[in-house]
């Protein structure tokens, strides 16, 4: 299939999801306000916990609010990335569109990629909303930010998170309900990846675990780009690690997903809810 055809199909998925979401404008407004409440909570929490000890543990030139805001915004991104694929599969199963899609002339990887484009785009916008609320009302000021570096970290994060998301969708295809793998990834990442505190405050063995998780590099690179205005040379190790995760996780996840789908074609449980 040509690239042009693939892009047209991915665009069709995006417009499908956009058209559906347009029907829920109220939810969109509420989510934007919810982000404001989240940011406000972090702001007052950061004022409460601000201390010389914490300040010393943070990267240079960073206050705790900015540190936690970036962590909070991008951890949310990971949780959506992990859910995007299995949510789209689950929804397609619920509204019975999965079979209709699978008998079209669209290969499975394109169906998966297309289903994730809209949630990833919305989540990127939501992340911007978090940061914008912080900048508008709570003094978050990424004046020295390296925006192109932040974009590169974001793009590399999308690829590596997508691998985890597709693995999670494979579980959903096989077992339908519950997804322990997703919650393990989210739980471990929340603990060790440096969401609310720097990885450096963890015991060495947990710091080692943190190095095995893509979100650690995502948060590290994003904070460096947004808060410290790091140059490309400083951001590149994080981007490189994320691309390495993507290079390993994406082929494995596509293989596992194809195997899971094949099993459902053997068992006849593809559309079971």
Partner 1 sequence: MAKKETGLPEANSVITRWMPEPAIRLDGVEKYFPPTPSGWRALLQPFLKPTQRALAGVSFEVARGEAVALVGSNGAGKSTLLRVLATLLLPTRGRAKVGGFDVERDAARARQQFGYHTGGDEGFYGRLTARDNLAFFAAMNNITGPLARERIAQVAEWMGLGSDLGRPVRTLSTGMTHRLNLARALLHSPGILLLDEPTRSLDVLAARDFRRLLKDSLVKRHGTTLLFASHTLTEIEQIADRVVLLEKGHLVACDSVRGLIAATGTATLEAAIAKRIGARKHGLVGEDPLP
List interacting residues with partner 1 (CB under 8 A). 5, 8-9, 12, 15-16, 19-20, 23, 95-97, 99-107, 174-175, 260, 262-270
Q: What are phi and psi of 169, to 5 degrees?
A: -65, -30
Question: How distant, in Å, are the alpha carbons of 8, 18, 26, 202 from that of 135?
Answer: 37, 27, 24, 29
- CB 257 to partner 1: min, Å: 13
Of residues 31 and 99, the one with the C-beta less far from partner 1 = 99
* Closest by CA position to 18, among listed 122, 101, 90: 122
Report the residue number, 16 or 207, with the smaller CB distance to partner 1. 16
Distance of closest approach, residue 101 Cβ to partner 1, in angstroms: 7
Which two tokens mark 127?
A: 């992340």
Of the pair 105, 203, the CB lying nearest partner 1 is at 105
Tell me whether residue 8 or residue 231 sits nearer to partner 1 (CB atom).
8
Residue 272 CB-density burial (10 A; 0-12 exposed, 13-18 middle, 19+ buried): exposed
Q: How far apart are CA 131 and CA 28, in angstroms?
A: 17
Compute and round to an integer the Cα radius of gyration of the chain: 20
Shortest Cβ 124–partner 1 spacing (Å): 23
Least Å distance, CB 110 to partner 1, is 9
């Amino acid at each position: 299939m040509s690239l042009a055809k693939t892009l047209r199909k991915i665009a069709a998925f995006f417009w499908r999801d956009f058209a559906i979401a347009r029907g829920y404008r109220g939810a969109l407004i509420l989510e934007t306000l919810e982000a404001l409440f989240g940011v406000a909570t972090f702001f007052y929490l950061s004022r409460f916990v601000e201390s010389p000890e914490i300040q010393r543990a943070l990267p240079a030139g960073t206050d705790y609010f900015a540190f936690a805001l970036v962590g909070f915004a991008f951890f949310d991104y990971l949780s959506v990335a992990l859910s995007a694929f299995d949510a789209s599969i689950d929804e397609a199963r619920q509204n019975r569109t999965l079979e209709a899609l699978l008998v079209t002339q669209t290969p499975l990887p394109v169906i998966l990629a297309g289903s994730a484009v809209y949630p990833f785009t919305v989540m990127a916008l939501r992340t911007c909303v978090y940061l914008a609320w912080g900048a508008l009302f709570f003094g978050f000021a990424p004046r020295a930010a390296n925006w192109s570096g932040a974009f590169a970290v974001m793009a590399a994060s999308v690829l590596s998170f997508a691998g985890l998301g597709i693995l999670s969708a494979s579980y959903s295809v096989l077992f339908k309900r519950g997804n322990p793998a997703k919650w393990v990834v989210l739980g471990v990442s929340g603990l060790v990846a440096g969401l609310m505190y720097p990885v450096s405050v963890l015991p060495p063995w947990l710091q080692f675990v943190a190095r095995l998780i893509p979100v650690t590099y995502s948060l590290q690179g994003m904070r460096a780009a947004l808060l410290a205005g790091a140059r490309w040379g400083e951001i590149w190790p994080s981007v490189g690690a994320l691309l390495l995760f993507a290079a390993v996780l994406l082929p494995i996840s596509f293989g596992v997903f194809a195997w899971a789908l094949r099993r459902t074609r053997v068992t006849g449980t593809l559309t079971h809810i």
